[in-house]
Structure 1
Amino acid sequence: MADAQLTLSSRNYSSWSLRGWLLCRLAGLAVSEKMIALDDPDNRAELLLLSPSVLVPRLTHEGASVWDTLAIAEYLHELYPQAGMYPADRIVRAHCRSVSGEIHSGFANLRSALPMNLKVRHDRFPVFPGARPDIERVETIWSECLDGYGGPWLFGASPTVADAMFAPVVQRFLTYAVAVSPTSAAYCETVNSWPLMREWINAARREPDEMIELETEF
């Protein structure tokens, strides 16, 4: 039995749950998964006791309770530095932390205009103009990283925290047929073909189709 527990909500709709799960898998930490149905008042009340902000994912491990994705990344990196969650070079590692923090804290228009839905694929979709600057900024980040470090992942040959943080953005672009550059399209294919991503998507497709309306999930 795993000594760690990861509290998650919807696999299909929750970008934050996906990030936390990918981070644990990158670290090599075995976790038991606790799914919270946020539309159930009893479960919501339980989650309120576990995490005052009602945010998921939440990692419980050896007395620690960590419920923010960047905090989870840093916690796991401290425990498992050999896992390569961040690049070894100090300067490159700082770059990785910077772009991970940027996607974590910004891009509100992209989140609201293109909510994550792994079961859907649109041939075309009218993207809210206010989201365009966010999309352009994402592509700039990807281009700088892929050109600077050689790909196929953002920081070289292996996935890092940054790839886990941007994985939901990749899925949004694929779901809504967002037109991107060839470089971005190749990166989207890399992430979408990632065995961990395929495992998560397959599980998401088995979930009920009901949309959970919760602002923190975007």
Structure 2
Amino acid sequence: MEGLVLYIGNKNYSSWSLRPWIGLTAAGIPFEERLIPFDFAAGNPLFRDISPTGRVPVLHHGALRVWESLSIMEYAAELFPDAGLWPEDVGDRAMARSISMEMLSGFRALRNACPMNIRREKGKIKLSEGVGDDVRRIEEIWRDMRRRSGGPFLFGRFSAADAMYAPVVSRFDVYDLVSNEDTLEYMSVVQSHTAWIAWCEAAKAETWIVPEDEV
């Protein structure tokens, strides 16, 4: 089997790159990482050469190109069914996919108001309408899934669903958006994972700077 090659953007800023990277890393799925930094505002022309959308992340597997974070993890889960990217129970898998799709398609107010920036100094900002609703819904998801599974992650052990919400952990922390004990406990669990620590250390070591209004 040819190896997997995952193309990503800046670790400090690229929330969509973080999702498959931390999912595959946490599951122990082998892949080669290739980072192509953003070159705002024009974008990096190299993205067009590697991805049909001109964006990252994108997974190369031989001649195959798989783009979009959730699709990348779905493909990796099929290649490595014993890696545990998704929960074993069929009902849990359905729930995990449901909340992952909700992350994929929703929470735009939070994303727009609070772009991922791991190096950003922690502190509150003036939030636009709708951010509070997004925060409350995400907290509800985290609380309900962990109570259902018994934790510590959303479905017991780390899964693709946790990977999909990983950038939100950074946003909640950096922009100081939450104070609920259950929420903070889940965030602490994610932030203690070796894959999370490795990504954040690499992000903090980067020297590229992108203005927040261009992220």
Tell me the amino acid that sits aligned with residue 183 of structure 1: D
1:53: how far off? Answer: 1.4
- Residues 122 and 30 of structure 1, relative CA distance in 2, 3 Å threshold: same
Long gaps (5+) in structure 1: none
1:193: how far off? Answer: 1.2
SS state at 2:44 partner: helix
Tell me the amino acid that sits aligned with residue 36 of structure 2: I
Comparing 50-59 with 7-16, greater Cα deviation is found at: 50-59
Long gaps (5+) in structure 2: none
How big is each residue's C-alpha offset from its partner over 1:85-140, in whole Å with a ceiling of 9 and x where there is no partner?
11111111100000011101111100011111111232433332321111111011
Q: 1:121, 1:174 within 8 Å by CA — same for their partners in 2?
A: no
| C-alpha separation in 1, matches of 2:54 and 2:89 | 35
Partner of 1:192: 191
| C-alpha separation in 2, matches of 1:78 and 1:212 | 38
Partner of 1:173: 172
- Residues 122 and 60 of structure 1, relative CA distance in 2, 3 Å threshold: same
Tell me the amino acid that sits aligned with residue 38 of structure 1: F
Tell me the amino acid that sits aligned with residue 22 of structure 1: I
Tell me the amino acid that sits aligned with residue 193 of structure 1: S
1:145: how far off? Answer: 0.3
Describe how 1:9-24 pairs up with structure 2 within 5 A. 9-24=9-24
1:181: how far off? Answer: 1.4
1:179: how far off? Answer: 2.1
Partner of 1:210: 209
1:22: how far off? Answer: 1.1
- Residues 42 and 168 of structure 1, relative CA distance in 2, 3 Å threshold: closer
Q: 2:4, 2:60 within 8 Å by CA — same for their partners in 1?
A: yes
Query: Number of residues paired by the alignment?
Result: 214
How big is each residue's C-alpha offset from its partner over 1:40-85, in whole Å with a ceiling of 9 and x where there is no partner?
8998333213213122111112332111111111101111111111
Percent sequence identity is 38
- Residues 82 and 115 of structure 1, relative CA distance in 2, 3 Å threshold: same
Q: 2:40, 2:210 within 8 Å by CA — same for their partners in 1?
A: no
| C-alpha separation in 2, matches of 1:193 and 1:138 | 20
Partner of 1:58: 58
Tell me the amino acid that sits aligned with residue 166 of structure 2: A
Root-mean-square deviation (Å): 2.2
| C-alpha separation in 2, matches of 1:159 and 1:50 | 29
**TM-score when scaled to structure 2?**
0.91
| C-alpha separation in 2, matches of 1:32 and 1:212 | 29
| C-alpha separation in 1, matches of 2:35 and 2:211 | 13
Partner of 1:8: 8
1:27: how far off? Answer: 3.7
Q: 2:115, 2:212 within 8 Å by CA — same for their partners in 1?
A: no
| C-alpha separation in 1, matches of 2:4 and 2:11 | 19
